[in-house]
Every structure is written in structure tokens, then in C-alpha cells.
């Protein structure tokens, strides 16, 4: 297996065949196994379209997408769906089961998996996201953060390699957002998961290994958060970077480079 | 909407709650047929005793059951009065040409009334003690033979299950839309009938729009999680047939036998 878990090659996509305007235009990038890649961009930059292309909900007009070296096509998409999962923005609309455990089992039922194996996988997936106590709850009665945990459990039960988050944290409050992110990070380290997180929250993006800035369906820039935020003046920046710039403007001696939260705290308290 | 009792589930741990949904559904349906065996006061008495025992066993208060009858009371009274007014025979109390009130008419009316209310009570017992999703599973199981006729039984029951899951969500949403309209000055439940109907339109339009949006999201979620219609699926929810379930069905047979013994031969009443 090559190092690249996801390889996107010159992908083009447009919704309206009559218009020449491309939603995704000649897009290429790769993601390593175990990497957290954040995709940022303004509304209409093609972020969500990219998510639906990656999981095969839509097929590119031209170009290729490889998941674990297998090309994503109509014929291979069902097989590849065991390897790549998608968490949607609105958790409410992605639940099919009437209880948490039924919902986690849904994808397994689709695989026609025998009961005993399903049971084992469901229990394990719920334990991984610390939702075991809620197994018999109605998913619509859970809090936003809990719902997204259940959605993740539904994917983990399939033992995927890649999880795509399509603005999955928009509906969470800051506290559950932090909890959810540290959970994902932990799972990523334990299971070598690749995470593609589509977001417009810069604080969320700052936690990624790399950031891909999407503009009008094209890669404007891709790189480490530090580089991106330092270079991109127009981009909204995470809180810490905004604070750094403000301090700089006020004439502080703060270093002229991107800092993480810990670095900032250290610098301020030194 | 809270007034609707039929189709609601009351959580509990009674004997009836523990019976397999398939057994309950079969027993409930067979009760409707058994009702027609009864043709004299003693058989109706037996049926009433049976019905009350079931209501008692469910552990749900009588008041809830009465609320279940309320929406249908006018239909019942209408049918009963037709029976009373147009049945001749026996001792005649009032005679206005075609309209008579006779002893046969009164007795027949009473029987019809009993049948209606008992059907409602017993079906309410079934729905109050069975989770909707378990009922769906039971329907799925009982319809399995129809698969031979190429009827998409699994798809139908999945559709039912999803519809059931969305009922509370759509109700919540209706409430939200109504609140939004109220905030803009709409007063519901006032004015003439056409006026009231007009006020409903601005509720339905946003409701339809959002339901269609939800449906699309859900279809995408199902596809990403590997759902393909016509593919064999295993089932995570399992129904277990126990001795009590056989006993329950046996009780129905016993009831039928008792009624056959006690029933009046010939046709005294229609």
C-alpha cells in the first residue's frame, strides 16, 4: 500500500452542465495515512461538493480519485464505502435507527453481517466514543455532541481508514466541540485513521496537520497551519493568531510567526 | 397532537410488554375475528371480561384508554343509532313507520357499541405495550411470505421504520414553524373555517420544503453507509419467540373455543 490514502487527481465537477462554471476545477491533492487534513474556504468554494465526491455520492466530470490505491468509480464505490465514511453537518438527518445501537448497526446490516459479529462491533464502537450507557436511547433525544459521537460510532463500526467530516462541528457548542476534536484525535492515533475535516472554523482548522485552502473549486494553498495563517492575510484566522496580530499592532515584541495556543500561553506568562 | 392515543407507546414492564410483538399483533388481529363469534349476552360478557383483563394487565390507566375512544365516539354513536332505529323485532316500544325502537334494535345497538369499543381497546392495548419499531419488525416478519409475490417487504418495513422515526421530528418542526408564524402575529384557532384553513398554508409550505431537504440528507446518509435496496441485509434487532408467546396465542384459541361453546346456535340476532 502506498503512503497516500487519498489521492485526488485533476478532478473537475460541475452541477450545471450548461454553464461552464466549475464547482470543482482541476483539483489535485493527496492525504497521508493517519493525517488530519482540514479543508477550508468560503461559502461556495466547493467544500461540501468535495466531500460528496470523496465518498462517491457524486462522480467527477473528469479526473480521478483513488482511495487506498483503488479508483473510485460506480463499480467500486460500494466496496470503498467500507473504507471511507462521512459525518454530516446536521446529525438529525443521518440517523436511521430508532435507538443508538440500532443506528450504529445500520451500516453493518447493509453488509449482511452475522448478528454476533455485529453485536461485538457495535459494542466496541460505542465504547470507543464513550456512548455505551446510551445504547438504548433514542438518538433524537441526545445532545448535539452526543449525536455526532453516535454518528462517528456508526462509521467506526465499519473499521474505516478515512473519515470525512462535512462541517460536522458547526452545531456543537465550544465545549463539546473541543471534546469531539480530542476524541477524533485520539481515535486517529490509535487506529491510524485519516481525517478530512471540512470546516470554516479556523480554530478547528488550526488543530489539523495540514490545511487546504479552497477557492472557487481550486487549491489556493496547502500546508501546515503555521504557514497558511502567516501567509494568508485575507483568511479569517484562529483566535490565537488574531490576538498575536493585535498585540503586534499595539507594538508588542511578540514574535512575528504563527503560534499555537500553548506557545502563546507560554510566551504571555514567561 | 398529544390527544392521539392510538399508535402511542407507554414504556413499562408488564407481562404484555414482554410478549413478542409478532404474538401480540397476531393476537390483536385474531381478536377482531373472534369478536364476530359472539352473538348473545353471555359471549359478549366473556369478551368484555377478556378486554378488561388485558387493559388491567397492560398497567396503563383506564383513562388513557377512554381517551383513545373519544375521537371515534361520534362515528360509533352514529352507527349504533342506525342499528337502534332501523332494526325491528322483539318488543316494539316506539313505532314511527320505518323508524322503530324495538328490544332487538336496542340489544343489537348495544352489541355493535361493544364491538367497536372492544376493537379500539384491544388494539390500543397492543400499541400501548409495543414499541412502534417492534411492531414494524413484527409486520416485516409476518409479511415475509409475500416476498414470493415480489413484494418489497424489507423495503416497506424500513420505510415504515424511518417514517416512525421522523414523526416526532416533524411534529417538533411543525411546532417551531407555528411559533415562528405566531411571532409574526398569526393567531391560530380563530376566525371562520376558510380563514383558519388559510392560516395552515404558511405552515405546510416550509414544512414540505424542510422535509424534502431531510429526505435528501437521509438518502445520502443511507447511501454513504452502504444501503442498497434489493441487497440482502442482516438484522440487528432480533425477535425472540418464547413460551409466553405461545401461551398468548393459545389464550386466543381458548377464547375462541369458549365463545363457540357459549354462542347461541341459529340466528336470533343479526
Check whether residue A72 and residue A39 sit in a common domain: yes
Do B131 and B27 belong to one domain? yes
Please state the rounded mean pLDDT for residues A11-39: 85
- Interatomic CA distance for residues B2 and B6, integer angstroms: 11
Residue A53: band (very low, low, confident or very high) from pLDDT cuts 50, 70, 90: very high
Question: What's the mean pLDDT when you consider all of chain B?
Answer: 87
CB A110 to CB B164 under 8 A? no
Domain-embedded: residue A49: yes
The predicted structure's pLDDT at residue B122 = 94
- pLDDT at residue number A177: 84
A121 touches chain B (CB under 8 A): no
Domain match, A14 and A57 both: yes
Q: What is the pLDDT of residue A249?
A: 83
Residue B51 lies in a domain: yes
B31 and B118 fall within a common domain:
yes
Q: Does any CB of chain B come closer than 8 Å to the CB of residue A49?
A: no
Percent of chain B beyond pLDDT 90?
37
Which residues have CB under 8 Å from B183's CB, separation 6+?
Answer: none
Q: Mark out the alpha helices in chain B (DSSP H runs).
A: 15-18, 21-35, 41-58, 62-69, 73-86, 103-129, 132-143, 153-183, 193-224, 243-262
CB contact under 8 A, B226 and A78: yes
CA distance B252 to chain A (A): 31
Clarify whether residues A257 and A226 are in a common domain.
no
Tell if the CB–CB gap between A101 and B236 is shorter than 8 Å.
yes
Q: What band does A131 get if pLDDT is binned at 50, 70 and 90? A: very high
pLDDT for B5 equals 55
For residues A193 and A34, give the distance between their C-alpha atoms in angstroms, rounded to a whole number.
Answer: 5
Q: Are residues A16 and A47 in the same domain?
A: yes
Among candidates B213, B212, B214, B186, which has minimal Cα distance to B200? Answer: B186
Residue-level pLDDT at A20: 67
What is the rounded distance in angstroms from the CA atom of residue B88 to the CA atom of residue B102?
A: 6
User: What is the per-residue pLDDT across B241-266, written as a single tens digit (0 to 9) for each?
Assistant: 889 999 999 999 999 999 999 988 76
Q: Closest to B233 (Cβ–Cβ): which among A90, A110, A158? A: A110
For residues A11 and A51, state if they share a domain.
yes
Residues of B in contact with A93 (CB under 8 A): 213-214, 217-218, 221
pLDDT at A85 over 50: yes
Per residue in A144-154, pLDDT (tens digit) is: 889 988 998 99
Residue A77 belongs to some domain of the structure:
yes
Q: Is residue B268 included in any domain, yes or no?
A: no
pTM of the predicted structure, to 2 decimals: 0.76
Which residues are bridge partners to A6 per DSSP?
A: A31, A67
Other beta carbons less than 10 A from residue A9's beta carbon: 16
A106 and B234 within 8 Å at the Cβ level: the answer is no
Q: Do B218 and A108 touch (CB under 8 A)?
A: no
pLDDT of residue B171: 84
Determine, yes or no, domain membership for B148: no
Is the domain of A262 the same as that of A213?
Answer: no
Instruction: Say yes or no: B78 and B123 in one domain.
Output: yes
What is the residue-averaged pLDDT of chain A?
86
Instruction: Work out how many CB contacts closer than 8 A connect A with B.
Output: 92
What was the pLDDT predicted at B252? 95
Q: Are residues B168 and B54 in the same domain?
A: no
User: Is 60 exceeded by the pLDDT of residue B211?
Assistant: yes
Summarize pLDDT for B71-93 with one digit per residue, the tens: 889 999 999 998 888 887 778 88
Q: Are residues A78 and A40 in the same domain?
A: yes
Neighbours of A40 (CB within 10 A): 26
Task: Indicate yes or no: CB of B232 within 8 angstroms of CB of A112.
Answer: yes
ipTM higher than threshold 0.95: no
Q: Does some domain include residue B45?
A: yes
- How far is the alpha carbon of B61 from chain A, nearest alpha carbon, in Å? 25
Grid cell, residue B164, equals: 416512525
Q: For residue A120, what pLDDT is reported?
A: 94
pLDDT above 60: residue B270: no
Contact status of A85 with chain B (Cβ, < 8 Å): yes
Number of domains in chain A: 2
Domain assignment of residue A188, yes or no: no
Give the number of domains in chain B: 2
Q: What is the pLDDT of residues A1-19, one digit of tens each?
A: 557 889 999 999 887 766 6
Q: Does residue B229 lie in a domain region?
A: no
Indicate whether A157 belongs to any domain. Answer: no
> Is the domain of A32 the same as that of A61?
yes
Residue B1 in domain = no
Same domain? For B26 and B91 the reply is yes
The residue range of the domain holding B81 is 15-142+239-262
| B196 inside domain | yes
Which candidate in B212, B224, B237, B240 is best for mutational testing of the A interface (most A CBs within 10 A)?
B224
Same domain, A227 and A269: no
Grid cell locating A82 = 467500507
**Least confident interval from A44-53, B57-66, B242-251, B260-269:** B260-269
For residues B229-238, give the mean pLDDT: 85
Residue B127 sits in the same domain as residue B162: no
Claim to verify: residue A222 and residue A243 sit in the same structural domain: no
Together in a domain, B88 and B162: no
Which residues constitute the domain of residue A44?
A: 1-82+194-232
Check if the beta carbon of residue A32 is closer than 8 Å to that of residue A83.
no
pLDDT of residue A144: 85
Q: Does the beta carbon of A94 lie under 8 angstroms from any beta carbon of chain B?
A: yes
Q: What percent of chain A has pLDDT over 70?
A: 96
* B174, pLDDT greater than 70: yes
What residues of chain B have any CB closer than 8 angstroms to a CB in chain A? 131-133, 161-162, 164-165, 168-169, 213-214, 217-218, 220-228, 231-238
Q: Rounded to an integer, what distance in angstroms lies between the CA atom of residue B182 and that of residue B185?
A: 5
Regarding whether B99 and B23 lie in a shared domain, the answer is yes
The reply to whether A13 and A71 lie within a common domain is yes
Does residue B211 sit within a domain?
yes
Question: Residue A91: phi, psi to the nearest 5?
Answer: -65, -30
Band the pLDDT of A23: cuts 50, 70, 90. confident
A62 lies in some domain: yes
What pLDDT, on a 0 to 100 scale, did the predictor assign at position B2? 47
A29 domain-assigned: yes
Q: Is the Cβ of A165 closer than 8 Å to some Cβ of chain B?
A: no
Closest approach of chain B CAs to the CA of A215, in angstroms? 25
**One domain, residues B24 and B99:** yes
The answer on pLDDT for B37 being more than 80 is: yes
In a domain, A260, yes or no: yes
Q: Tell me how close the Cα of B228 comes to any Cα of chain A, in angstroms.
A: 7
Q: What CATH number is associated with residue A200?
A: 3.40.50.300
Chain B contacts of A55, Cβ < 8 Å?
Answer: 224
Mean pLDDT of B28-41: 92
- Determine which helix (DSSP H) or strand (DSSP E) holds A227, and give its type and residue range: helix A225-231
Same domain, yes or no, for B106 and B191?
Answer: no
The answer on pLDDT for A230 being more than 80 is no
Residues B43 and B71 in one domain: yes
Q: Are residues B43 and B128 in the same domain?
A: yes
Amino acid at each position: 500500500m502506498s503512503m497516500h490514502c487519498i489521492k485526488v487527481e485533476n478532478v473537475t465537477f460541475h452541477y450545471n452542465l450548461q454553464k461552464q462554471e466549475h464547482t470543482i476545477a482541476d483539483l489535485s491533492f493527496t492525504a497521508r495515512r493517519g493525517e488530519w487534513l482540514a479543508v477550508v474556504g468560503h461559502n461556495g468554494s466547493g467544500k461540501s461538493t468535495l466531500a460528496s465526491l470523496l465518498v462517491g455520492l457524486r462522480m467527477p466530470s473528469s479526473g480521478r480519485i483513488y482511495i487506498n490505491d483503488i479508483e473510485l468509480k460506480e463499480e467500486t464505490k460500494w466496496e470503498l464505502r467500507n473504507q471511507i465514511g462521512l459525518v454530516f453537518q446536521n446529525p438529525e438527518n443521518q440517523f436511521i435507527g430508532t435507538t443508538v445501537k440500532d443506528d450504529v448497526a445500520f451500516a453493518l446490516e447493509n453488509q449482511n453481517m452475522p448478528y454476533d459479529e455485529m453485536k461485538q462491533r457495535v459494542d466496541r464502537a460505542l465504547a470507543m466514543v464513550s456512548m455505551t450507557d446510551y445504547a438504548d436511547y433514542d438518538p433524537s433525544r441526545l445532545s448535539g455532541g452526543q449525536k455526532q459521537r453516535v454518528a462517528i460510532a456508526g462509521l467506526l463500526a465499519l473499521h474505516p481508514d478515512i473519515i470525512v467530516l462535512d462541517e460536522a462541528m458547526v452545531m456543537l457548542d465550544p465545549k463539546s466541540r473541543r471534546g469531539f476534536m480530542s476524541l477524533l484525535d485520539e481515535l486517529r492515533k490509535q487506529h491510524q485513521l485519516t481525517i478530512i475535516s471540512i470546516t470554516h472554523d479556523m480554530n478547528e482548522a488550526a488543530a489539523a496537520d495540514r490545511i487546504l485552502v479552497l477557492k472557487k473549486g481550486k487549491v489556493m494553498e496547502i500546508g501546515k497551519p503555521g504557514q497558511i495563517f502567516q501567509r494568508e492575510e485575507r483568511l479569517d484566522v484562529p483566535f490565537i493568531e488574531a490576538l498575536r496580530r493585535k498585540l503586534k499592532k499595539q507594538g508588542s515584541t511578540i514574535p512575528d510567526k504563527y503560534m499555537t495556543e500553548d506557545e502563546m500561553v507560554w510566551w504571555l506568562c514567561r | 397532537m398529544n390527544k392521539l392515543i392510538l399508535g402511542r407507546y407507554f414504556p413499562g414492564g408488564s407481562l404484555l410488554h414482554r410478549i413478542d410483538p409478532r404474538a401480540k399483533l397476531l393476537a390483536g388481529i385474531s381478536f377482531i375475528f373472534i369478536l364476530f363469534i359472539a352473538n348473545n349476552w353471555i359471549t359478549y360478557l366473556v369478551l368484555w371480561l377478556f378486554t378488561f383483563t388485558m387493559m388491567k394487565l397492560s398497567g396503563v390507566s383506564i383513562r388513557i384508554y377512554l381517551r383513545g375512544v373519544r375521537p371515534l365516539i361520534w362515528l360509533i354513536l352514529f352507527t349504533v343509532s342506525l342499528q337502534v332505529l332501523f332494526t325491528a323485532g322483539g318488543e316494539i316500544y316506539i313505532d314511527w313507520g320505518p323508524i322503530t325502537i324495538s328490544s332487538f334494535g336496542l340489544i343489537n345497538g348495544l352489541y355493535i357499541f361493544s364491538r367497536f369499543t372492544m376493537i379500539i381497546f384491544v388494539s390500543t392495548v397492543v400499541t400501548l405495550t409495543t414499541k412502534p419499531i417492534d411492531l414494524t419488525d413484527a409486520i416485516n416478519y409476518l409479511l415475509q411470505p409475500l416476498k414470493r409475490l415480489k413484494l418489497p417487504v424489507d423495503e416497506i418495513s424500513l420505510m415504515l421504520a424511518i417514517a416512525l422515526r421522523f414523526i416526532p421530528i416533524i411534529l417538533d418542526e411543525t411546532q417551531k414553524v407555528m411559533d415562528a408564524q405566531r411571532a409574526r402575529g398569526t393567531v391560530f384557532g380563530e376566525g371562520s373555517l376558510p380563514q383558519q384553513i388559510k392560516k395552515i398554508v404558511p405552515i405546510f409550505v416550509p414544512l414540505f420544503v424542510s422535509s424534502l431537504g431531510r429526505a435528501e440528507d437521509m438518502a445520502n446518509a443511507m447511501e454513504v453507509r452502504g444501503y442498497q435496496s434489493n441487497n440482502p441485509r442482516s438484522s440487528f434487532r432480533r425477535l425472540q419467540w418464547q413460551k409466553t408467546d405461545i401461551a398468548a396465542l393459545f389464550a386466543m384459541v381458548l377464547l375462541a373455543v369458549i365463545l363457540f361453546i357459549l354462542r347461541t346456535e341459529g340466528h336470533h340476532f343479526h
